[in-house]
Structure 1
Amino acid sequence: MGKKKINLKHKKKVLKKKVVVEEPSDVEEDIEECEEEPASEVVNSEEESDADQSTELNSGEELDSDEDEADFTYGDINEHKKSLEKLKESDPEFYKFLEENDKELLNFNLSDEDDDGEVQNESQVHVPQLDSDESDFEDEDSKGKENNITFKLLKKWQVDIKTDKSNKTINELAQALHAALLLVLPEEESSGTVSDYKVEGSAIFNGVVQLCVLEFGPAVKRFLGLVSGSKEKPHLCKKFKKVKRILKCYFEDLLKLLSGVASANIQTVLLKHLHYMSSMLISFPNVTKDILKQLIKIWGVSDEGVRVIAFFCILKISRNTQSLLDTALKTMFITYVKNSKFVSPSSLPCINFMRRSLVEMFALDLNLAYQHVFLYIRQLAIHLRNAMTLNKKENIQAVYNWQFINSLQLWGNLLSVTCSKPQMQQLVYPFVQVCLGTLRLVPTTQYYPLRFHVTQILINLSRDADIFVPVLPFIVDVLDNYDFNKKHQKVSMKPLKFNFVLRLSKSQLVENGFKDTLIDTIYDQLLEYMTIQSSSIAFVELALLTKIQIKKFLKKCKNPNYVKKIKQALDKIEQNAQFIENERKKLTINLADFKQLEAHENQIKCNGTPLSTYYESWSKMRNQKKRKEATMNDELGEYNLPTTKKRKLKNSEVKQKNKDVEFVFSDSEDDEESQILKKKVDIESD
């Protein structure tokens, strides 16, 4: 059927200056003369009427030659060339038109050797030739091939979309993305969808996505008359109705493409494009909710780079709409809790990123954040109350798990940032009480790692929010409750770390690495907490009970390494206490005036204390050590680099080499030594 269309068009062009009013019966006779092959078919009556109409449109003009000369066979090439030359002389403008649009007609040629041996005689009127019995389906095949997206078509769209003032090219690009979507989606989902175009191959797919990413957004904004950076809503523009349906389908396809693509690179490109187009999502609230859920899913489970861009999209979409922000906060917190069930070296960076981004999201609207945080802290308190009252294993496990601890870390970080705001100050006290209740629930040796996780949360809150939290007893009590003189039964192959552990096994409790890690953790948190309080005017009284407990531990502990480390911390605490006591003697202000006391403490803090100076230098060394452990520098240092080994010489080679040795004697005092060395060489060579 593709050949039928070409021949009919060609017939119209050739007969543009030649008027032949033919009867349908004459056309049928010409077709019968041309179709001598038994496998050919008779042209349909509809096509015959089309041919008659084309000749009737050109009526009223005269032929340049006789009617008999108009009928020629394609075997007579010379006559065809002569007719074209006559046409060039008689109507040069029409000949020029043929050169530009139908070069195949002018470069006409027939092959003498046909594989099928078919007779290719046709009339001058280019009667359509039927090649096979399946010709009824040729139109559909040729139409499908014409709708295949090619690089040439992509280049045409790239040029047209910058100059086209209508929505035609925008619509075509949206349909092209829909065709690309069918290539990615599984057959079950793509079976019901239809597209005007077809994408074949990864190169065309990437070309379509790249063109949409680069040109679709700016083209829509140009069409709507939106200036970059303007806060005008798209649905308020006059021309929005013309692209409303296109944009809705485009965003739906973009959503399906995000969920169907697994490549991190393509996801990154699509998310950047969505971030650019996010200002238009406000006009499509139903589609926006689905896109927001998909972005939160990507934010929770994808690669690091993809996760960051997804968070930027979430932030930009939900920032201006409270209903979307409410949905985003709920869904993001649930995603955070689901993905924080286990903590490992590989999952910890993901959990930390989600925690920081959630803090930023809650800080957008503190009135809305108060409602969410109050509800979630209340749920934690209910779990803790059930564990304390019922005292059952399943209730205790509902508290002593990573999801509960990571939730405490999230709300601790949020309150550290927003506690200065009046909306969030009321949540500090219940949160601290939940943390202290968690510490008292099961104060056994096995849960020492969990204890130090919670105390670290309270230490960070005390430092950032500048509030006093009684954490010190829970740190120092470990020195009294655990027997550090007990001999270990196993030797640790690797140092034990509490970062990824909440509960210790029985085998870990009898290793020597457990006691080492326990002393190091107590030393770290003791110094950090006392440094936070080192500028307080009440530091002397705060450190009194701590000094008593530490001295008691030093008397009964027989391990010199542990004694040395804890004694060093005690010396720094006593030195700082003496410093604060000397500063208090110089005070001339009223102790009831809290503003003057606060100003005095801030001045001491700015000038620095002995404990803060020591902790600053010590923390630099500790952080450097942690970075080495994270990057495994020690293992890299122990890596055996390849070395070149010298080849061992045989005895004959050694003798030959010794014979060739010559010593240069000098007049210095080393002449005797050189002569002795020469004699030794001569002896060895013999």
Structure 2
Amino acid sequence: MGSKNKAKKTKEENKSKNIDSMDDLKAEDHMEQLQRLQEKDPEFYEFLKEHDKELLEFDEDSNEDVEIDEEEEETDLHNIEHLTRAAEKDLPSKNTITSTMVDSWCNAIQGNANLGAVRSLMRAFRTACHYGDDSGDDNTTKFSVMSSSVFNKIMLFVLTEMDGILRGLLRLPSSGGKKETIMDLMTSRPWKNYNNLVKSYLGNALHVLNQMTDTEMISFTLRKLRNSSVFLAAFPALLRKYIKVALHFWGTGGGALPIVSFLFLRDLCIRLGSDCLDDSIRGMYKGYVLNCQLVNATKLQHIQFLGNCFIELLRVDLPSSYQHAFTYIRQLAMILKEALSESTKKKEIFRKVYQWKYVNCLELWAGAICAYSSEGDLMPLAYPLSQIISGVARLVPSACYFPLRLRCVRMLNRIAASTGTFVPVSLLLLDMLEMKELHKPPTGGVGKAVDLRAVLKVSKTTLKTRAFQEACVFSVVEELTEHLSQWSYSVAFFELSFVPAVRLRNFCKSTKVDRFRREMRKLIHQINSNSEFTNKKRATVSFMPNDLEAASFLEDEKKSEASPLSQYAATLRQRAQQRNDTMMESSVLIGEKSSIFGNKMEDDVDDDDDSSHGKEARVFNSSWLPGRDSKINPNEEEKKVKTKKKKKQKEPQEQTALDEDVVEDFVLSSDEDEDGSISDPTDAEDVESEKRNRKMHIKRQKPPVDSLKKKRKFQEQKSKKRKRVNRA
């Protein structure tokens, strides 16, 4: 019996030991589960800490004296399920990205460059860039939901810091780099480990660029991506897409977006070379042509800005740019050749030449040749382009296309001045003076001032106005003076100016307008005085006209601009500038700052790059989300405020409505010349209109007595209504 009792005791002791060992294993598993819960979901762990401390304060030693029943275990499991359901109701979903999570990732990255935090942040960046897509949230992704403040925080940190993080992981310099460095890097081990991060960053940023609508956000994003543009050498497909997006923003954007897009493209071309330059030149040329379809006075500055950007891009690689310039100038020559051929109908073909698109392309290449005349790469194209421009000017010798011919003459003068070659411009200008429309009396009256820079063709009624005739004659005098002043220091100036001086004297004899006659006599006097100036110096030299020493003739006087024609040309430029300023009602900037191409705009961009995070936070702190949320108008609150203001303004507007019944009529005063003196009309109609205009003055109508009585009655009725409402 004793042996049996001992055996039973040993069995019971073994069972108790097994139970204790099982309890110990359960306790250890439970503690491990709690630790994993604290790491994966800290918010749920804090929730359990507040509502069920006993579950978290689980002690391993307490299991020695506690017997666990199956019923108690079931009740504990039921309580845990109940708590988790309650937590799911109170807390956000498991895939929600919170502000604390983003802060923890950012601190881990900035502190010790934690790779796990970088990967988590890049997953969150992908979610932010694809948030609200039509395809819906992807269940395979770890994160799917976020608020607008979290979106702004992720975008701001990633766009600002990710370039430095990637360069640190890939062991690259903190800035710069070219295509060769990326090609060498692609064979290294760091690139194999982290190229997926680079591709994810660039691809998701491209996606969000296509979704954005706010110009400030797009400008900020492109400005930050500009530092990482060298990585696109490893991804040709992404490179083509980035070029396409940047070209679109450059041609159609507003504000600072065009200049930021251009700088992004220029950096790409400098760092990546021909892989990017050819596509960028073709795309920018196409964008320039699309913007030149229609031109007016307010669009000239924007077109000039686009042309300056294109010319600046050619500087990156002038030998490669020569190939593109030769191709496009040849296309212009083929179009002109088709228009000049006798087998075709000129009425249908010449319109391809006499349009804004064609003329602006000529001005673009003329500006490129003038900009790089000292380099020598584009100099061989100066002669064929001058021949094309001269052919365009002579294509249709009609007075209606007088403005177009003047534009061609200006281009030729610019090419001659920059290249130092002689271009026969005087014959084109003198032929304009012999048109019969300038010798007829202005039967169309005074007419409106015509801005010859903003039109290519004028109507027949405009041809008969005095304002158009004056603009034509003054423009011819200015361009002819500009042409002659370029060669006012030449040994052969007397021979060069002889024919123009004779034809100007003939115009003085044939015209009946005193204003034109006085203008021509001034120019003839300056030509004669300049001839005397050069002949005195020419009498003292001993070299022949074909000697090389003739090129240095009057070189010192040319530097000081001492010739009479140079001084007269400077005064005419000032007069033309004043006339153009008076035509422009206000200075127009296309897209606020986009048309400013110079130091001022570059300073603004540099200031933005060096700005603090406060300014950047304001850019991305507009509660904007891409996708579905972007369709909702973010300015709803502003609209509500405006509607409230309009309602408040209705009452005072009703009170001031009667005050506006008193109308002041202004009568135009007499027509005067630009210098302030009254013009001398030659026709009888002009004399009579001059007398009538001198008698007319500014008058004001006195308010009639009936209107004052009506106003008082209306105010009395309104005050009575208010008293009744107050009594009620």
Fold match by TM threshold 0.5:
yes
Q: 8 Å contact 1:184–1:257 — kept in the other structure?
A: no
More deviation in 139-148 or 612-621? 139-148
- The answer to whether residue 495 in structure 2 is matched with residue 541 in structure 1 is yes
> 1:615, CA displacement in angstroms?
2.2
CA distance in 2, matches of 1:484, 1:363: 44
One-letter amino acid of the structure 2 residue matched with residue 433 of structure 1? Q
Which runs of 5 or more structure 1 residues have no equivalent in the other structure? 1-18, 24-51, 62-97, 109-120, 634-639, 641-686
1:271, distance to aligned residue in structure 2 (A): 0.8
The 1:451–1:21 alpha-carbon spacing in structure 2 relative to 1, beyond 3 Å, is farther
Give the direction of change, closer, same or farther, for the CA distance of 1:178–1:21 in structure 2 (3 Å limit).
Answer: farther
CA distance in 2, matches of 1:463, 1:475: 17
Is structure 2 residue 385 aligned with structure 1 residue 431? yes
Look up the match of 1:532: 486
Distance 1:379 1:59, change over 3 A: closer
- State yes or no: 1:440 paired with 2:409: no
- 2:212 and 2:230 mapped to 1: Cα distance? 23
Q: 1:154 to 1:602 in 2, by over 3 A?
A: farther
Could you report, residue by residue, the CA deviation over 1:28-69 in whole angstroms, capped at 9, with x for unpaired residues? xxxxxxxxxxxxxxxxxxxxxxxx9997433899xxxxxxxx
Partner of 1:289: 240
Q: Secondary structure at the match of 2:248?
A: helix
Q: Structure 1 counterpart of 2:27, which letter?
A: N
* Greater alpha carbon shift after TM alignment, 377-386 vs 122-131: 122-131
Residue in structure 1 matched with residue 95 of structure 2 by the alignment: 147
Tell whether the 8 Å contact from 1:21 to 1:56 is kept in structure 2 after alignment.
no
Over the matched positions of the two proteins, sequence identity in percent amounts to 22
RMSD: 3.4
Q: Which residue of structure 1 aligns with residue 345 of structure 2? A: 391
Of 553, 557, 564, 1:604 maps to 557
Answer yes or no: is the 8 Å Cα contact 1:339–1:351 preserved in 2.
yes
- Tell me whether 1:374 sits opposite 2:320 in the alignment: no
1:230-274 per-position Cα deviation (integer Å, ceiling 9, x unaligned)? 534353554122221121122122112112211111011101011
Q: Structure 1 residue aligned with 2:153, among 193, 207, 229?
A: 207
The amino acid across from 1:602 in the alignment is E
CA apart distance, 1:20: 12
CA offset at residue 416 of structure 1?
1.3
Q: More deviation in 341-350 or 227-236?
A: 227-236
1:511 aligned onto 2:465: yes
Equivalent position of 1:182 in the other structure: 130
Partner of 2:214 in structure 1?
Answer: 263
Q: CA deviation at 1:492?
A: 5.5
Helix, strand or coil at the partner of 2:193: helix
**Superposed, which structure 2 residues align to 1:167-566 within 5 Å?**
167-183=115-131, 185=133, 187=134, 195-198=141-144, 200-229=146-175, 231=177, 232-233=181-182, 234-235=185-186, 238-319=189-270, 320-389=272-341, 390-491=344-445, 494-566=448-520
Which residue is 2:26 aligned to?
A: 57
Gaps of 5+ in 2: 1-15, 31-44, 56-71, 588-665, 667-728
Q: Classify the secondary structure of the residue corresponding to 2:131.
A: helix
Matches of 2:17 and 2:130 in 1, distance apart?
Answer: 50
Instruction: Give yes or no for contact 1:20–1:55 (8 Å, CA) kept in 2.
Output: no
Work out whether residues 167 and 242 of structure 1, in 8 Å CA contact, stay in contact via their aligned partners in 2: no
- Counterpart among 573, 587, 612 of residue 619 in structure 1: 573
Q: Cα distance 1:570–1:169, how it changes in 2: closer, same or farther (>3 A)?
A: farther
Alignment partners' CA distance in 1, 2:113 and 2:307: 46
How far is 1:386 from its partner? 0.8
Using structure 2 for the length normalisation, give the TM-score.
0.67
Larger radius of gyration: 1
Q: Cα gap change, 1:559/1:58 in structure 2, threshold over 3 Å: closer, same or farther?
A: same
Give the TM-score of the pair, scaled to structure 1.
0.71
Which residue does the alignment assign to 1:654?
none
Q: Which amino acid aligns with 2:131?
A: L
8 Å contact kept, 1:304–1:350: no
* Count of residues in Structure 1 that have an aligned counterpart in Structure 2: 534
When residues 140 and 522 of structure 1 are mapped into structure 2, their CA distance, relative to the original with a 3 A threshold, is farther
CA shift at 1:199, angstroms? 5.1
Q: Secondary structure at the match of 1:370?
A: helix
8 A contact 1:167–1:243 mirrored in 2: no
Deviation at 1:379, TM superposition (A): 0.9
- Measure the CA separation in 1 of the matches of 2:540 and 2:132: 77
Instruction: Answer whether contact 2:526 2:564 (CA < 8 A) is retained.
Output: yes
Query: 2:139 & 2:430 partners in 1: Cα distance?
Result: 68
> CA offset at residue 103 of structure 1?
4.1
Alignment check: 8 A CA contact 2:95 2:145 kept: no
- Cα distance in 2, alignment partners of residues 60 and 428 from structure 1: 85
Question: Which digits, 9 at most, give the CA deviation of each residue in 1:176-205, with x for residues without a partner?
Answer: 2222222365x26x6779743345444333
Q: State whether residues 170 and 220 of structure 1, in contact with CA within 8 Å, keep that contact through their aligned partners in structure 2.
A: no
Contact 1:158 1:215 in 2 (8 A): no
Select between 153-162 and 453-462 the one with higher mean Cα deviation. Answer: 153-162
* Deviations 1:284-323, CA, capped at 9 Å, x for gaps: 2221111011111111111141100111110111123212
How many angstroms apart in 1 are the aligned matches of 2:484 and 2:46?
A: 92
Question: Matches of 2:455 and 2:526 in 1, distance apart?
Answer: 30
Cα distance change on mapping 1:194 and 1:341 into 2, 3 Å: farther
Task: Give the AA of the match of 2:527.
Answer: I
Cα distance in 2, alignment partners of residues 302 and 223 from structure 1: 35
Deviations 1:336-363 (A, max 9, x none): 1122111123332221112111112222
2:215 partner amino acid: A
For the residue of structure 1 that corresponds to 2:553, the secondary structure is helix
| Residue 105 (structure 1) aligned to one of 37, 44, 52 | 52
Deviation (angstroms), 1:512: 2.4
d(CA) in 2 for partners of 1:420 and 1:299? 29
Letter matched to residue 552 of structure 2: A
Kindly provide the CA deviation profile for residues 406-429 of structure 1, in whole angstroms up to 9, marking residues without a partner as x: 111111111112334444232222
Q: Relative to 1, partners in 2 of residues 1:344 and 1:200: Cα closer, same or farther, differing over 3 Å?
A: farther
Aligned partners of 2:124 and 2:187: how far apart in 1?
27
Contact kept in structure 1, 2:335 and 2:353, CA below 8 Å:
yes
